[in-house]
Amino acid sequence: MFTYLIHDAWISEPDSFWSALHVAILWGLGLFLDLLLIMVLRVAWLSALTLSASGRERGTRGLVAAARTMARIDRVVVYVAGAALAAMVLVTFFSVIGRTLWKPIPDDYTMAEWALVLVAALMMGVIQGRGEHIEVTAFTDNMSERTNRTLRLVGVLAGCLAVSRLAWVSIEEVPGSFLEITYGSIYDLPMWPPRLIFMMGLAWWLARTAIQVLVLPVTELVDAEAAGAPPGWDLTPLLPAHSGAEVETSGEFIDTTASDERGRDAGGNS
């Protein structure tokens, strides 16, 4: 879908100054967005299965597998963002030393800005999945759990609409920046890499938000029919239950069977 839209809007009649790299970037962006769309549609299908008694077991197994896949992607994203943060610190460190002794690293500010965009953009979706965005709950702490989940559903739905608009605006900026030069760059570094990274980060954030919109009603159903719920299911905790800290919920499912088994093994060994 997105590959076709991008092809129809830009690739079918590319600007004369575009190179093969620019066209390949747009193809890759379209494929990336289509993969995210397939993942969201699969979660929607599994959530629909979970709403029926006959397909609940199959649906919940599929949601567990989807949650594990997203957790693996999150780990990769965290490693990439951590590497970018480390690179930003090292560039700044050696540039300060070079500025003192001989001369700074050329385009150090530009590279630091790129790394900052990468860290911030890629981590937004991860934080959304973990439910670690800042929330003000002074007025909702005394409300019922069901009311809180309803408010959370309204919140993630509003967030999904807002991020969708932001992503739509951002995707139009990617091809428009192919010939733009980063302001102040000594070596005329292009503008499109940080804009492309920002767009991909927004897409992952939007996918995680859309998945929460789909899964939160299923969560309510599982709680309402606890007798029919499979064992080992819980809302994704912000903090592990054994940490002793308050456990909040983000609205995504995880498979807690493995952690329960580790807890029993630890208890048996002690």
Which tokens in the block code for residue 228? 């029919």
The chain-wide mean pLDDT, for the chain, equals 80
**Cβ pair 252, 67 in contact under 8 A:** yes
Q: Which helix (H) or strand (E) holds 147?
A: helix 145-176
Residue 254: name the closest of 202, 215, 201, 206 by CA.
215
Q: What is the dihedral of CA 161, 34, 41, 152, to 10 degrees?
A: -30
Cα distances from 131 to residues 73, 165, 179, 251, 254, in angstroms, run 16, 21, 38, 8, 13
pLDDT tens track for 215-258 = 887 776 666 665 444 444 344 433 333 333 333 444 454 444 44
Which residue is it, tokens 């997203």? 70
pLDDT value at 38 more than 60:
yes
Which tokens in the block code for residue 62? 């599929």
The Cα–Cα gap between 27 and 8 comes to: 11
Give the pLDDT confidence score for residue 229 in this predicted structure. 44
pLDDT tens track for 52-103 = 878 888 888 888 888 889 989 999 999 999 999 999 999 889 888 888 887 7
Domain ranges of the chain: 74-131+144-264
Give the pLDDT confidence score for residue 90 in this predicted structure. 92
Torsion angles phi and psi, residue 253, rounded to 5: -85, 145
pLDDT tens track for 159-192 = 999 999 999 999 988 998 888 888 878 888 889 9
**Cβ pair 212, 250 in contact under 8 A:** yes
Q: Which helix (H) or strand (E) holds 107?
A: none
The Cα–Cα gap between 171 and 51 comes to: 35
The Cα–Cα gap between 222 and 25 comes to: 42
The Cα–Cα gap between 6 and 199 comes to: 14
Which residue is it, tokens 């093969």? 20
Which residue is it, tokens 């549609």? 41
Give the pLDDT confidence score for residue 226 in this predicted structure. 52
Cβ–Cβ contacts within 10 Å for residue 115, how many?
23
Half-sphere exposure of 219 toward its Cβ, with a 13 Å CA cutoff?
22
Residue 212: name the closest of 173, 248, 159 by CA.
159
Q: From start to end of the chain, where are the E strands?
A: 233-237, 249-255
Q: Which helix (H) or strand (E) holds 137?
A: none
Cβ–Cβ contacts within 10 Å for residue 20, how many?
8
Give the pLDDT confidence score for residue 230 in this predicted structure. 45
Give the pLDDT confidence score for residue 195 in this predicted structure. 93
The Cα–Cα gap between 4 and 173 comes to: 18
pTM beyond 0.85:
no
pLDDT value at 146 more than 90:
no
Q: Is 267 exposed, middle or buried (0-12, 13-18, 19+ CB in 10 A)?
A: exposed
